[in-house]
Chains A and B, each alone.
Chain A
Amino acid sequence: MATILQYLVYGLQLGSVYALLALGYTMVYGIVGMINFAHGDFLMIGAMGTYFIAKLFEGQRIDGTYPMLIVGVIILIAMLGTGGIAVGTEAIAYRPLRNKPRMIALITAVGVSMFLENFPRALPFIGPNPRSFPTLFTPTSFLVLGASITSTQIIMILLAAITMAALYFVVNRTKIGGQMRAVSMDKDAASLMGINVNRVISITFFIGGALAAVSGICYASAYPQVDVYMGSWLGNMSFVAAVLGGIGDIRGAMLGGFILGIAQIFATAINSTFGYAVGFIILIIILLVKPAGIMGKLVVEKV
């Protein structure tokens, strides 16, 4: 029982990483209709950025940890920075290809992803070697029903939950959210209704990047190591999560992320290779039963 609870907490933690990242995939897919294979690398940029920003604030540390306010500032800067990089990526590499076949944008995204991984790798002050991520919070452990839960875990899961709630609010209750939904349904019609499509897409990428940064911080806090390639497989898993939930659907991305995270933790307990593969196995099974994912609606082409 205690073990199961313990795994569940780990699963929620990993699930929130996937969910946050999957949201970026799903939002970009819903609005631009492209799979942004470079999205995982935004996570790396967020985590790597946090590492360097935390270095800058090193003087503020008390007893080896940062005060809450400073942590908030660090996270905020990382979110803004990663969001900015995401917006820049879209403007430079994706916007010119918006009206081209979707495969073209996808291959460009593969190229962008390679660039985002290998450019920092070549920079002398980053390089290919993994770095250990600083402890942002004082970890205190609690024993709940025999399972040990740290404050970091709780804070991270809460942070993910709050971010997702905020996103849900933005998309469904605000003006910009309405514009996003309009653009996702029909870009041309939205444009005719006076919506600045470019601006909406930029904002989408900004939000996606910022969420990826939070996701990166969550991940690096749990597994305190950052390197330039970390975004690649996390990105793939989150993409799987997004498709699992029904790509293009925000609730689906969250659900898919948590299903995948929990399943992976439990499967890893059996065998680590199996843990990696289980996500893909679940994906195939779900797609065979529901071809458009759990929340997705199958769009039938009208004849």
Chain B
Amino acid sequence: MKKLLKTFYPALLVVALYIAVTLLRSVGILNGYYIQVMMFAGINIMMTASLNLVNGFTGQFCIGHAGFMSLGAYGAAIVTTMLFKNVPAFAQIPVFLLGLFVGGCVAALIGALIGLPSLKLKGDYLAIVTLAFGEIVRAILRLIQPIGGARGMIGIPNYANLAWILFFMTLTLYLLRNLIYSPYGRAFIAIRDNEIAADAMGIDTTRYKITSFCIAAFIAGVAGGLYAHVLAFIQPDSFSFTKSSDFLVYLYAGGSGSLTGSILGAALLTVLPEILRFLTDWRLAVYAAILVIVMLYRSEGLCGGKELPFMRISRAALYEKPLFGGRKKDSAVSGKQ
């Protein structure tokens, strides 16, 4: 039992958070506005964590992440708006999930498409290509009239609620944590720390970079799908470079190369501007000033590359007894280290 609790307490925390929020909502302490801010925080955590995979763990430099988000948002929105009207209520969940999946796949596919040629570019040149990619996607979306062109797409089912977002956020973080502490994750980190050495050690750097790009694009696509179904309205200009730079700011203010940092950075910096609303006109200026001060006095980010215990897997954890019985072979070596 203790063991079970130890493994799953982060998920339980999220469930507890959800229950607490629902209770507070029902007694009227929290209103819809707070819930919406929380939903955006959850989506931003997904975006930042996925950007972290590319920038923080693989050492690449993507500054057009909102482009993937927009592809996912439009992909998912097109699926659900087309199908929702025609299916009975019980079939809405699979349609919604299908929409998110399609959105993720579109983003990942395009991610691979631009990744293949451009990952040969290094550092700042790769960065500018991702920026250009984001802006080109935006321009193309503005030109396609059937999905609303520059005016945007309306009438998307308002289906994503806090529960869905917390679920996908938790799932994303859990999967990303596992990935980072796996052979794949180590290959990513090897590329980040020294690409020439990684190459010399037999790591096919191009393949791993593209994998990292695609995974991040997929998650960003799903997050974009959720975003579309929170707002029920999307327009190309919501996914401009400004949006991409928001995620960069969350990532580096939280601390790159740390999933805890992404959670903290995205959550705090989504909520901060809302807290600062009482400053009216001065809000964004003060927010920017706070950001600059954080970067000056804590340049490694709030988390500074450290992880909370449940976001990392130590070597010792490999030798713990597995949760459910486990095989003989496994328990034989548990005494070591």
Interface residue ranges, A against B (CB under 8 Å) = 29, 35, 37, 93, 96-97, 100-101, 103-104, 106-108, 110-112, 114-115, 117-119, 121-122, 232, 236, 239-240, 243, 247, 271, 273-274, 276-277, 280-281, 283-284, 287-288, 291-293, 301, 303
A288 to B196, CA, bound (A): 22
A281 to B125, CA, bound (A): 14
Say which residue of A271, A277, A291 sits within 8 Å of B120 (CB atoms).
A291
- Given the known inter-chain contacts A122-B282, A236-B241, A243-B124, please indicate yes or no for A93 contacting B292, CB distance below 8 A: yes
A158 to B253, CA, bound (A): 44
Cβ of A291 and Cβ of B296 under 8 Å apart?
no
Interface 0/1 of B116-128, CB less than 8 Å to A: 0110111011011
Cβ of B125 and Cβ of A291 under 8 Å apart?
yes
- Given the known inter-chain contacts A115-B289, A243-B124, please indicate yes or no for A284 contacting B295, CB distance below 8 A: no
6 contacts between A and B (CB under 8 A): A97-B299, A104-B295, A107-B248, A111-B292, A111-B295, A274-B143
Please classify how large the interface on chain B is, using the bins under 10, 10 to 19, 20 to 34, 35 or more: 35 or more
Cβ of B129 and Cβ of A93 under 8 Å apart?
no
A49 to B171, CA, bound (A): 51
Nearest-CB residue, chain A, relative to B126: A287
Residues of B within 8 A of A96 (CB): 296
Cβ of A277 and Cβ of B288 under 8 Å apart?
no
A236 to B117, CA, bound (A): 23
- Given the known inter-chain contacts A232-B242, A273-B142, A276-B139, please indicate yes or no for A118 contacting B284, CB distance below 8 A: yes
Cβ of A107 and Cβ of B249 under 8 Å apart?
yes
Cβ of B125 and Cβ of A111 under 8 Å apart?
no
Residues of B within 8 A of A303 (CB): 196
- B115 vs chain A, min Cβ distance (A): 13
- Given the known inter-chain contacts A247-B124, A283-B129, A288-B117, please indicate yes or no for A277 contacting B241, CB distance below 8 A: no
Cβ of B249 and Cβ of A287 under 8 Å apart?
no
The interface-forming segment of B26-34, B81-89, B130-138, B316-324 is B130-138
CB under 8 Å from chain A, chain B span 53-110: 55, 61
Residues of B within 8 A of A115 (CB): 285, 288-289, 292
Cβ of A114 and Cβ of B281 under 8 Å apart?
no
- A79 vs chain B, min Cβ distance (A): 25
Residues of A within 8 A of B117 (CB): 288
A243 to B131, CA, bound (A): 12
Cβ of A93 and Cβ of B296 under 8 Å apart?
yes
Say which residue of A97, A103, A108, A121 sits within 8 Å of B284 (CB atoms).
A121
Nearest-CB residue, chain A, relative to B296: A96
Residues of A within 8 A of B281 (CB): 121-122
Cβ of B128 and Cβ of A239 under 8 Å apart?
yes
A157 to B333, CA, bound (A): 77
Known A112-B292, A283-B128; 20 more pairs at CB < 8 Å: A104-B252, A107-B295, A112-B288, A114-B284, A114-B288, A114-B291, A115-B288, A117-B284, A118-B288, A243-B125, A271-B143, A273-B139, A277-B136, A280-B135, A283-B132, A284-B129, A287-B118, A291-B122, A291-B125, A303-B196
- Given the known inter-chain contacts A108-B292, A236-B241, A243-B128, please indicate yes or no for A114 contacting B287, CB distance below 8 A: yes
User: What are the 9 closest A-B residue pairs judged by CB atoms, nearest first?
Assistant: A277-B139, A114-B288, A280-B132, A115-B288, A118-B284, A111-B291, A118-B285, A111-B292, A122-B281
- A138 vs chain B, min Cβ distance (A): 38
A303 to B142, CA, bound (A): 46
Cβ of A107 and Cβ of B253 under 8 Å apart?
yes
Does B162 sit at the interface, judged by CB under 8 A?
no
A292 to B120, CA, bound (A): 11
Does B271 sit at the interface, judged by CB under 8 A?
no
Residues of B within 8 A of A97 (CB): 295-296, 299
Residues of A within 8 A of B282 (CB): 122
- A132 vs chain B, min Cβ distance (A): 22
A247 to B123, CA, bound (A): 12
Say which residue of B120, B150, B252 sits within 8 Å of A273 (CB atoms).
B150
Residues of A within 8 A of B120 (CB): 291
A93 to B299, CA, bound (A): 12
Does B140 sit at the interface, judged by CB under 8 A?
yes
- B280 vs chain A, min Cβ distance (A): 8
Does B256 sit at the interface, judged by CB under 8 A?
yes
